Structure 1
Amino acid sequence: MEIVSTSFTHLYGTHHRWLLGLLRRRLNDRWDAADLAHDTFIRILNRPPVETDHLRQRSYLATIARGLCIDHWRRRQLEKAWLESLALCPEATQPSPEQRAIIVETLYEVDAMLARLPKKVSEAFLLAQLHGQPYKQIAEHLGVGERMVKKYMAQALLHCAILEAELDGMLVQ
């Protein structure tokens, strides 16, 4: 374990400043950059690079950081859209800051879950849940039979149930 610790310390000491600069330029925010640099190195602890070459280590760090930036921007878009729709609601119905944080996290997790599903499955789910379309109309839109729409919905709902169990577990702990 000491070898991993020593190599991680060396990797961090060698590349942290560079990675922080890269993220500052990409995000235009030093606090977000510091958070994502930290998250990048946390990921490295779980999956250390096998390469010892300086340039390949930086490439590995940049790849992880790029993925984290995409997640960050996606989360911000979701949060912005939700806050815009929330602004249309009466102030008396506004959730507390804690509830807002939980809702934004849940939205992000649902979005990530939908992104992992096959395209037609997520599209069928969104058409049914957000647009209230009946299965027959969804089937026509997707160019499949109603039976296939039922299978798509069962698959999406199964993933929703799994996600709900995971989120319940996070909230209980």
Structure 2
Amino acid sequence: MTTAEYPGQTHLHALYGSHHGWLKGWLQRRLGNAADASDIAHDVFLRLLVKPAARGFATPAEARAYLRLMAKGICTDHWRRREIEQAWLDTLAAQPESVEPSPEFRAAIIETILEVGTLLGKLSAKAQQVFVLAQIYGFSTPEIAAELAISGRMVQKHLANAVLQLALFDAGLMRP
């Protein structure tokens, strides 16, 4: 397929040529790691491929502001993922060797945790709190209601919404 078949491709190529080096340098200063900076800069431009509306910028400053905003979001995701991975590895380190899971199982667990975290991130803060208190800490509806100063009915509503989101994802009807 040629560039002419993708209307924004030429503009994206020019945007990449003009700003990739700058973005990678900015990320490297922010992260202190050339490999992560390179990966995240690459991810920014990959996301632009699937966001055609975000390709037209009036000025280079506007383009850089948008690229910086996207990069900050990807950095946040990157740091969250690192924190989750580290927490999981710390938990594993505390386990006896006889129960140490395989690398494949570890990767599957981390991926599942990240997907659940992403799905919960789409819920309101209150719904997130309700879900965590119920599913992670085992609180009952009255205990959650007292903890969050909301009615038992609202606890059930928030929990049902969270479970619905997870069920839709599990059924393949929703992406994280």
Q: TM-score, normalised by structure 2?
A: 0.88
Any unmatched runs of 5+ in structure 1?
none
Deviation sequence 1:6-35 (CA, Å, 0-9, x none): 111111111111111011111111111111
RMSD: 1.9
The one-letter amino acid paired with 2:36 is D
Partner of 1:163: 169
1:50 matched to 2:27: no
Query: 1:29 is aligned with what amino acid?
Result: N
1:108 aligns with 2:109: no
Distance 1:41 1:49 in 2: 10
1:118 Cα deviation from its structure 2 partner: 1.1
Q: Distance in 1 between matches of 2:73 and 2:172?
A: 22
Q: Share of identical aligned residues, percent? A: 44
Q: Is 2:45 the partner of 1:41?
A: yes
1:62-77 matches, within 5 Å, as: 62-77=68-83
Determine the structure 1 residue equivalent to 2:17.
13
Q: Which has the higher helix share?
A: 1
Runs of 4 or more, structure 1, over 6 Å off, are: none
- 1:163, CA displacement in angstroms? 2.7
Preserved contact between residue 36 and residue 68 of structure 1 (Cα < 8 Å) = yes
Q: 1:90 to 1:164 in 2, by over 3 A?
A: farther
| 8 A Cα contact 2:145 2:152, kept in partner | yes
Match of 2:88 in 1: 82
TM-score, with length taken from structure 1: 0.90
- Kindly state the Cα deviation for residue 88 of structure 1 after the two structures are TM-superposed: 1.4
Q: For the Cα contact (< 8 Å) 1:24–1:33, is it kept in 2?
A: yes
Unaligned ranges ≥5, structure 2: none
Report the residue type matching 2:67 in the other structure: L
Aligned length: 169
